[in-house]
Structure 1
Amino acid sequence: MNHQLGQPQPSTRPVPAPGQVAYDPASGRTGVVQAVHSVAELCFDHRMSSDRVAFLRPERGGVEWTADAGALRFPADGEGGAQHPHAP
């Protein structure tokens, strides 16, 4: 029995979860997802079009940023990589 009849169906596209590397198309950067929260849980002006906000941090450390969790995806080869070169 489908109890969510008439409700929007969740995306079948796999999305990065906390601890995974994600590409943020709005900033063009990749980072490790630290957390994802509903906008209702936040106490600041998030200015996101989605109802969820993701907190990301550069893979090698640095300043955390917020992103629209609905827009995140797994990075394709070369996306965001120029800012985070691989260690030798």
Structure 2
Amino acid sequence: MNHQPHQPRPSTRPGPAPGQVAYDPASGRTGVVQAVHSVAELRFDHRMTSDPVAFLRPERGGVEWTADAAALRFPTDEERTV
């Protein structure tokens, strides 16, 4: 029998979904995921190099930003207070 621990692949790891708080490692910020779309669905000059694209908004309101949806993860308690 093979008893090696299962290591999930990052692409299969469930990440934050719309309505959930996410940490964006590229910007170092946390925000609420507003939507996730394929680059092909975007109707503006997105200049994104990854697919899919997530739209995030600061928890207390503010300017929305775009991020690589595949890189998002749930924030630690420390990251959430920054």
Both proteins in one fold, TM over 0.5: yes
SS in 1 for 2:77: coil
| Whole-angstrom CA distance in 2 between matches of 1:72 and 1:36 | 11
SS in 1 for 2:11: coil
Query: Which letter does structure 1 place at the counterpart of 2:39?
Result: V
SS in 2 for 1:17: coil
| Whole-angstrom CA distance in 2 between matches of 1:54 and 1:13 | 16
Greater helix content: 2
After superposition, what is the alpha-carbon deviation per residue over 1:33-74, rounded to whole angstroms, capped at 9, x for unaligned?
000000000122323332111000000111111111111000
| Whole-angstrom CA distance in 2 between matches of 1:73 and 1:65 | 16
TM-score, reference length from structure 1: 0.75
Gapped runs of 5+ residues in structure 2? 1-8
Percent identical:
85
Residue correspondence of structure 1 range 1-88 to structure 2 within 5 A: 11-82=11-82
Count of equivalent residues: 74
* Cα distance change of structure 1 residues 39 and 71 upon mapping to structure 2, 3 Å threshold: same
TM-score, reference length from structure 2: 0.80
Matched-pair contact (CA < 8 Å) for 2:11–2:70:
no
Q: What is the Cα-based RMSD across aligned positions, in Å? A: 1.8
Q: Which residue of 1 aligns with 2:4?
A: none
